[in-house]
Amino acid sequence: MKKFFTLVVLLATMTVAAQAQVKFGVKGGLNLTNMKFDNSIVDKSNQTGFFIGPTLNFTLPVVGLGIDASALYDQRSAKIEGSEDKLKQQSIQIPINLRYGFGLGNTASLYIFAGPQFGFNIGDKSANIVDNALEWRLKDSNLSANVGVGLMLLNHLQVSANYNIALGTTGETNVLSSTTSTVANLVTGKTKANAWQLSVAYFF
């Protein structure tokens, strides 16, 4: 009985995979980041970035359901108040989102999506800023979640907006010297980097 059940599940999985439609494309967009510190020294008006990379869309043989997966080069930055220094994060982000679409015919369809995003920081993972009074150190990897809405046009062009929520800390700050007024009242603490993301993708 156990072997029969396993065989049924395997055949069902193979059937779903065979009927799934796969589209390849390229995706890019803007990050509007909100870097949160225990005590903030970040200029709220200057937290921007971008992302770009290949993307896949799996349309499952269930009405409205699909999966998006991408491998994106992601860059986020934030300017320090009262300084020319910037905090900069470069990473490879892998979002995997389950989506549900509401068809409006072949011309357009609306969809909502949500899912995890796995990040791997590349480049410099630490920096001394504000006249070497503050050290900012990134974690090697991070986990976040996406919630958003999008529009597919003509089965090829996709536009979307989502909120990317950090599930845990992105890095940490340490005061090396309190001689500058910018960091005089800052304590050692954790940082998080949530972001609104606006994107455009084209599927071939």
Is the overall model pTM greater than 0.75, yes or no?
A: yes
- Looking at the DSSP assignment, which residues form a beta bridge with residue 23? 57
Model confidence at 101: pLDDT above 70: yes
Name the average pLDDT for the chain.
79
Model confidence at 40: pLDDT above 90: no
Which single residue is written with the structure tokens 């920096």?
127
pLDDT on residue 169: 80
> 43: how many CB neighbours lie within 10 A of its CB?
15
Model confidence at 31: pLDDT above 70: yes
Q: Which of 45-54, 61-70, 130-139, 175-184 has the lowest mean pLDDT?
A: 175-184
Q: Within 13 Å, how many C-alpha atoms sit on residue 140's CB side?
A: 0
Average pLDDT (45-56) is 86
Q: Which two tokens stand for residue 183?
A: 């960091």
Question: How far is it, in rounded angstroms, from Cα 173 to Cα 187?
Answer: 8
Model confidence at 43: pLDDT above 60: no
Model confidence at 100: pLDDT above 90: yes
pLDDT on residue 13: 47
Q: Which two tokens stand for residue 64?
A: 């409205």
Per-residue pLDDT of 116-165, as tens digits, reads: 999 999 977 777 766 666 777 888 899 999 999 999 998 899 999 999 99
Model confidence at 19: pLDDT above 70: no
Q: Which of 65-79, 91-105, 186-200 has the lowest mean pLDDT?
A: 186-200
DSSP label at residue 139 = -
Distances (CA, A) of 1 to 8, 13, 163, 188: 11, 18, 46, 59
Q: What domains does the chain contain, in order, with CATH numbers?
A: 18-124+137-169+192-203 (2.40.160.20)
